[in-house]
Structure 1
Amino acid sequence: MKSALYLCLLLLGLQAQGPHGSKLNDEEQEQEKLHSPQDHSQAEGEHLPHTKIAPSNSNFAFRFYKQVREEAGNKNIFFSPLSISTAFAMLSLGARSNTLRQLHKGLAFNLTEREEQEIHEGFQHVLQLLNDPHRDVQLNMGNALFIDGRLQLLEKFLRDVTKFYYSEAISSDFQNSPEAVKEINKYIETKTHSKIVDLVKSLDPETVMVLVNYIFFKGSWERPFSNLATREDDFFLDTKNSVKVKMMHQSKDFNIHRDEKLSCWVVEMPYKGNVTSLFVLPDEGAMKQVEDALLKETVSNWMESLKKRKIYLDLPKFSISGSYDVKNLFEKMGVTEVFSDQADLSGVAENSLLKVSKAIHKAAVDVRENGTEAAAVTVIEVTLYSIEIPPPPHISFNKPFLMIIIDKITNSILFLGKIVNPASKED
């Protein structure tokens, strides 16, 4: 029987607008030393490592989204494609033969175009840039391996996961399963700032290693909403049903694009710190058409077509989460061997037959005016107005819409989601 490898792909995406400028704590100072960022002035260079893997990561993001959509039905969707691809890319360091080929194909990497070394160097660079503590956005991403004493990792695997993925290696006693579960959950809770707790319920008796990837994001809108303008309004789930939501309002210049071919509005809402979000509002009945067209090229076209224009914008406040069985989704995408008794993970450990028994992913997002519910700041903005011909478009996200959060420095899709009911918090 093969020993089990448990992948916990963990994420908290807190899309919010909280205060900045607090002192780095000891852990953050350690992260700063560990992830010394490259010169950002080079970020546009086509030959930088992170630029080489960005197209594959985008392709994977939209392929995975379409697989999730098949099972989600009429539920909210929210996940981090970058968290999932980083975790499986790290695991691929120990994969061999057909298991490795399936992982590369599943992650949308073509080894005729990209050498294996370049893939890992790309992720290494992404981690360096995302964890730069000097950015105007709180963005942390990291990896950890919890390793049982029964497993003797190969020196090369340990060296590579540390070098390319900055992974922590933590000794754990999986013979004492309750304590191991407690230890893993405590790590997750700490890294996600107490937003994800008690995620791992139990461990398979054969488990000898747990791989954890986490990403945490907290950003401030470049143009925050005034909480004085937020009011209760209708969000239409479909043509017959609606729910009451807190709707935020702004009337300002935004980068927008009207895609007539796909029948949708695209509104860019940037954060401070080189992270931006695209909110995509399909016309009535056009959601499937827009989802089917979700490709790297489509999003690139939207980004290039954005034009600054004054609009009346309505956007609901919402807090939603999503939990996914990545093993099940990957198997449907053709990545099967790594989860089976045919798995070849011989590059991970000595004298151990390993397979992945579970792979789970959880994500959460919180969208609001300024990100801090306890804030006691009130801003009243008084502006001149003029009658414009034609009048600004009124773009109201009062029906199902898509949301894409993009890190502009690494050109990575951090989060991807569909909000069909902002009043539904649970996944």
Structure 2
Amino acid sequence: MKSALFLCVLLLGLQVQGQHRSDLNNEQQEQKTSHSQAEGKNLAHVKIASSNADFAFKFYKQVREENSNKNIFFSPLSISTAFAMLSLGARSNTLNQLHKGLAFNLTEMEEQEIHEGFQRVLQLLNEPGQEVQLSMGNALFIHKRLKLLQKFLDDVTNFYYSEAISSNFQNSSEAIKEINKYIETKTHGKIVDLLRRLDADTVMVLVNYIYFKGYWENPFDSSSTREDDFLLDDKNSVKVKMMHQSNYFNIHRDEKLSCWVVEIPYKGNVAALFILPDEGKMKQVEDALLKETMSNWMQSFKERKIYLHLPKFSISALYDVKSLFEKMGVTEVFSDLADLSGVAENTLLKVSAAIHKAMVDVSENGTEAAAVTVIQVVEVSALSPPPPHIRFNRPFLMLVFNKPTQNILFMGKIVNPADKED
């Protein structure tokens, strides 16, 4: 059985505002190696990690405003990567709004460093030979008659390793089918038929996907999983499959925010943080979600034996990113005032739609047609206090982060593990 499966897709539809004819110049893949080698010598990805964390928590709080009593799950890195890639073609106030919305401060880093940072993140996430399955990528589906500027095409290829795919948007049903097939393939068949319609004037669709499948470093024993109550609030509960494990984990009790924080590592270089607020303290913890808070938790970790009780769950969520961004002050790129003049020749463009879908599946770790038995022998100390029971049997938060890039890959709030749909 899978330990965890995370899938996120972001779609951006670019709509033409003017008329224009030309053939697509599809020269790609050159200079990629030289760019990669040069960028690998600096730490631009560390610089952008701080901004990406700021964006993650800012976006979470905007989502929470509209989904306070619903499950939340998204990939902040998928969203920021897609819009950072689009910003290569943005100019003037449109570009300024995108930078501000994505939490990039150009007094602290140069614009070039932003793109070099994402370039390095993509390299590290897609590195072969990892113990987790982790892949992230981008694609541009382009109207056959849209003439991209060569610099934009070079930059999205070199920094974001984006594929450029020529499509016939005049036959919208075929274009939709082609884009959905690409998404289905890249997400290993887990996200299907995401794109339902295209605006009549669409000339380009930008896709970002991220796929992660990991195995717990210390798997749960499936024979210990049993039905238990998950408290939705002080009056209502649902039945869930609750996993159990007694083991050593990095944990922290935040007395100021009234919550437990448990780090559960995957095999490899990815780990999950599960945050369990005390009853009635969820909003207090959510309001305090900042990169400084997360840093403080991680610096305060102590390895300790605990009795961990964690529900199995499989949920998905779908978001209108355009609407959320507009409420965050990023408006111009979606309007007729949009300046995306760095994308294509003699063509006025704006973003007409931006949607994001994510899903997560968390369960015990096992491998088909195999079994593992682990017997741990530990010294018994009469002086040690008994291990605490940390029961995730009420709404909790979850963050998944990649250690080499220091980026939050996924973030969510599990309000009802039994509610699978977005």
TM-score (norm. length: structure 2): 0.90
Q: 1:58 to 1:179 in 2, by over 3 A?
A: same
Is 1:131 paired with 2:122? no
- Partner amino acid, structure 1, of 2:57: F
Distance apart, 1:272 and its partner CA? 1.2
What SS does the corresponding residue of 2:273 show, helix, strand or coil? strand
**How far apart in 2 are the matches of 1:393 and 1:408?**
27
**How far apart in 1 are the matches of 2:251 and 2:208?**
34
1:393-408 alignment runs, 5 A limit? 393-408=388-403
Determine if contact 2:308/2:389 at 8 Å carries over to the other structure.
Answer: yes
Q: Deviations over 1:168-221 (max 9, x none)?
A: 000000000000000000000000000000000010000000000000000111
Distance apart, 1:376 and its partner CA? 4.0
Q: 1:371 to 1:75 in 2, by over 3 A?
A: farther
Q: 1:98 to 1:37 in 2, by over 3 A?
A: closer
Aligned with residue 292 of structure 1, among 287, 291, 302: 287
Aligned with residue 48 of structure 2, among 46, 53, 56: 53
Counterpart residue number, 1:345: 340
CA-based RMSD of the aligned residues comes to: 2.1
Determine if contact 1:53/1:122 at 8 Å carries over to the other structure.
Answer: yes
Determine if contact 2:6/2:211 at 8 Å carries over to the other structure.
Answer: no
Distance apart, 1:379 and its partner CA? 3.6
Percent identity for Structure 1 against Structure 2:
76
**How far apart in 2 are the matches of 1:400 and 1:380?**
32
Q: Deviations over 1:327-372 (max 9, x none)?
A: 0000000000000000000000001010000000000001000166
Is 1:281 paired with 2:289? no
Determine if contact 1:226/1:379 at 8 Å carries over to the other structure.
Answer: no
Aligned with residue 322 of structure 2, among 323, 327, 331: 327
**How far apart in 2 are the matches of 1:221 and 1:303?**
19
Q: 1:396 to 1:289 in 2, by over 3 A?
A: same
Counterpart residue number, 1:313: 308
Is 1:254 paired with 2:249? yes
Distance apart, 1:378 and its partner CA? 3.8
Mean CA deviation greater in 84-93 or 377-386: 377-386
Is 1:239 paired with 2:239? no
Distance apart, 1:390 and its partner CA? 1.4
Determine if contact 1:35/1:127 at 8 Å carries over to the other structure.
Answer: no
Q: 1:162 to 1:37 in 2, by over 3 A?
A: closer
Q: Deviations over 1:370-419 (max 9, x none)?
A: 166xx344444444574754111000000000000000000000000000
Structure 2 unaligned residues grouped into runs of 5+: 8-28
Determine if contact 1:35/1:132 at 8 Å carries over to the other structure.
Answer: no
What SS does the corresponding residue of 1:228 show, helix, strand or coil? helix
What SS does the corresponding residue of 2:217 show, helix, strand or coil? coil
**How far apart in 2 are the matches of 1:391 and 1:15?**
34
Aligned with residue 73 of structure 1, among 53, 68, 72: 68
Structure 1 unaligned residues grouped into runs of 5+: 1-12, 17-30
Determine if contact 1:322/1:426 at 8 Å carries over to the other structure.
Answer: yes
Determine if contact 1:38/1:129 at 8 Å carries over to the other structure.
Answer: no
Counterpart residue number, 2:93: 98
Is 1:415 paired with 2:410? yes
**How far apart in 1 are the matches of 2:34 and 2:220?**
34
Q: 1:37 to 1:151 in 2, by over 3 A?
A: closer
**How far apart in 1 are the matches of 2:366 and 2:376?**
24
Distance apart, 1:135 and its partner CA? 1.4
Q: Deviations over 1:255-303 (max 9, x none)?
A: 0000000000000001111101100000000000000000000000001
Q: 1:409 to 1:35 in 2, by over 3 A?
A: farther
**How far apart in 2 are the matches of 1:287 and 1:200?**
34
**How far apart in 1 are the matches of 2:308 and 2:369?**
24
Runs of 4 or more above 2 Å deviation: 34-39, 375-389
Determine if contact 1:36/1:128 at 8 Å carries over to the other structure.
Answer: no
- Partner amino acid, structure 2, of 1:318: F
Determine if contact 1:37/1:129 at 8 Å carries over to the other structure.
Answer: no
**How far apart in 2 are the matches of 1:325 and 1:169?**
24
TM-score (norm. length: structure 1): 0.89
What SS does the corresponding residue of 2:342 show, helix, strand or coil? coil
Q: 1:318 to 1:232 in 2, by over 3 A?
A: same
- Partner amino acid, structure 2, of 1:410: T
**How far apart in 2 are the matches of 1:350 and 1:87?**
21
Q: 1:130 to 1:384 in 2, by over 3 A?
A: closer
Distance apart, 1:112 and its partner CA? 1.1
Distance apart, 1:149 and its partner CA? 1.5
**How far apart in 1 are the matches of 2:82 and 2:222?**
38
What SS does the corresponding residue of 1:14 show, helix, strand or coil? strand
Determine if contact 1:263/1:283 at 8 Å carries over to the other structure.
Answer: yes
What SS does the corresponding residue of 1:135 show, helix, strand or coil? coil
- Partner amino acid, structure 1, of 2:153: L
Counterpart residue number, 1:28: none
Determine if contact 1:144/1:169 at 8 Å carries over to the other structure.
Answer: yes
Distance apart, 1:35 and its partner CA? 8.5
Counterpart residue number, 2:25: none
Q: 1:15 to 1:165 in 2, by over 3 A?
A: closer
